[in-house]
Structure 1
Amino acid sequence: MTERTAEAQALTEIMLAVFRINGRLLEGGDRLVAPLDLTSARWQVLGAIALAGEPRTVPQVGEAMGMTRQGAQKQVNKLEEDGFLECRPNPRHKRSPFYALTDKGASAYRAVDTLYSAWANVLADGLQMEQLESALALLSNVEHRLETDTHVKGSAP
């Protein structure tokens, strides 16, 4: 068994904290958007399309939000069924249509953004910008390493 370096152990603690925070973010997000007939997962999909500013395919939604294609497809289907999204043809790929926000979806996303802004302001109160920027830089670096690490992509060390 390989011993972990001090840096690897610290990174492990950060990863465990990220897992815990993710769970709490999903729980808090579910409570935040429940009055709008949404869940955190559905909010993520609406956000991927709204933030892109143009219709997106399911794989594009999944990539933008760190979801599997299957997970994104499940949420897209529910959002379309409930009138938040509409399907549009993709002239470049017949089997991968675009999805766009309907008026209902755009309205819901604006409402969520207002609710989220208030929540984010409360969560950010008292945090230092320098620490936030440092945390973002570290997490972005780890994300990049995970994306390019061949060990993570399926081959054992």
Structure 2
Amino acid sequence: MKNGDRHARTPSAEIFTALILETFRFNGQLLAAGNRLTQEFGLTSALWQVLGAIDEKPLPVAQIARNMGLTRQSVRRSAHLLKDKGFVDFQENPHHRRAKLVALTIPGRDALGQIRAIQTDWANAVADGISVQQLKSAVNTIMLLSSRL
């Protein structure tokens, strides 16, 4: 930081800003790759994300949104598109009369399983030649920065 310039970035802040910009580019590339991986199922990355969020158990739209860092409106829209495709159903929620649970159907679970197999091959190819330690370091750094936000 220069003397008297309280708005100058520190060296760490400069690198952090570069990381932000690279993350935006990376996110765009991940979304495009996800769209390619799921296109044969008539899905997008956004729809796949919602399917993955309810793999363990049915959840209300608001919980899916919180878990995935999305807006309720976008999850609601995705859930209705997935219902139209036959991949999810809405079930009664014993904890909340109006907030239905979004649940995988058998076709949804089958599609998610097939997409997982495709994603596994893709992830193996992308990660080939990058050490586990490098990847763990990247994950840990992003988690640390995320916790500060």
Shared fold, TM over 0.5? yes
In structure 2, distance between residues paired with 1:122 and 1:64: 28
Gapped runs of 5+ residues in structure 1? Answer: 147-157
How far is 1:61 from its partner? 1.1
Letter in 1 for 2:46: A
More off after superposition, 55-64 vs 7-16: 55-64
In structure 2, distance between residues paired with 1:21 and 1:66: 17
In structure 1, distance between residues paired with 2:48 and 2:67: 13
- Of 119, 122, 129, the match for 2:122: 119
- Of 45, 48, 71, the match for 1:40: 45
Q: For residues 1-157 of structure 1, what are the structure 2 equivalents within 5 Å? A: 2-50=7-55, 53-146=56-149
Gapped runs of 5+ residues in structure 2? Answer: 1-5
Letter in 1 for 2:142: L
Q: How many aligned residue pairs are there?
A: 144
In structure 1, distance between residues paired with 2:112 and 2:67: 16
* TM-score normalised according to structure 1 size: 0.89
How far is 1:82 from its partner? 1.3
Larger Rg computed on CA atoms: 2
Percent of matched pairs sharing the same residue? 40
* TM-score normalised according to structure 2 size: 0.93
SS in structure 1 at match of 2:86: coil
SS in structure 2 at match of 1:86: strand
How far is 1:141 from its partner? 0.7
